[in-house]
Amino acid sequence: MHLLIPYIQLDEVDPDFDEFSYGDAGSRGKKLLTKVKKGDYVFFHTTIHRTKLITAYYVVDRCVRVSDARENCNIMTKYRNPHLHRERIIDEHDMVLLGDPIESRRLGRPLVFDRKLAKKLGLGIEFRKGVTESQAIGSATRSWRELSQEDVELLLDEIKESQEAGADTDRIYTTEEVAEIIEKDLENFIVQEREVFGRGLRLIARQLDTPVGRIDLLFENKRGDSIVVELKMGRIGRDAISQLHRYMDYLKKKGKGEVRGIVVCEGVLPAFENEFAKGLENIKIYHHGWQLAVKEW
């Protein structure tokens, strides 16, 4: 049985695209045990910046009961899936699916899961007025969906075309999303592409220690004004703005001329979107996307 499985990004990494593992229990765990066999395809999709994306697929190597896996030293040593290492087993169908490490893929360029692709797959999704495309697809694929062999071949062709189209695109990282790269990569990118914040910026310091905290990046424009850049891999709220204000106040007291602040982040937490959209004094918010491009929020 081929499957299309949704997931959300949590602190516990599952599915784990580095080791190609995925755990589940209950009725879904039972389905993995009884329906999914070696060589089947499992495609994973999620929502990033309100866009549905297929980010990885596994070619199934095997499905293992957690109770059996815990007696296998090789599995327990090699894999870090949270289902394997929790203190207790959830139920008798607590399972871990392991993908073939050669055939499975985490997509360097996620495949957009839009209306066009949904119709090609014949998922029978109803796109109604007043409901966004992403919402309609999300609602229809909240549960696992079975895929035919034709669906699998179509998805593999679409993925191949997507990857080839992006082969010449700069800075496409082999991660499902920029949120998974380390902050140092984002810092290096900003230093190289500083013109997005304004022309003629000069880099003054990186990781500058101050009495009020460490400033990620400090630039200076042609007028001698300071631009403080704070990098956040996730979405931000008031804490990030308060942190930036501390850095800005410190530089003002040091006589560094006019001081402006910039936060580069994944986005703004929903609770603060309306507040921040009204504007922040001397602070701009930019967000990064999976292509590692930076745009004003």
What pLDDT is stored for residue 48 in this prediction? 78
Domains and CATH numbers, the chain: 2-165 (3.10.590), 178-296 (3.40.1350.10)
pLDDT at 12: 76
pLDDT at 22: 97
pLDDT along the chain (297 residues), means of 10: 90 86 95 95 89 93 95 92 92 95 87 92 88 88 95 95 60 42 75 87 90 92 92 89 94 87 90 86 84 62
Provide the CA 27 distance to its chain's centre, in angstroms: 27
Residue 58 and residue 20 in contact, taking contact as beta carbons nearer than 8 Å: yes
**Number of C-alpha atoms within 13 angstroms, CB side, residue 167?**
6
> pTM higher than 0.85, yes or no?
no
Output the pLDDT for position 180: 45
Tokens of 94: 């607590």
**pLDDT at site 167:** 44
Cβ burial, residue 240 (10 Å; 0-12/13-18/19+): buried
Quote the radius of gyration of the chain (alpha carbons, Å): 23
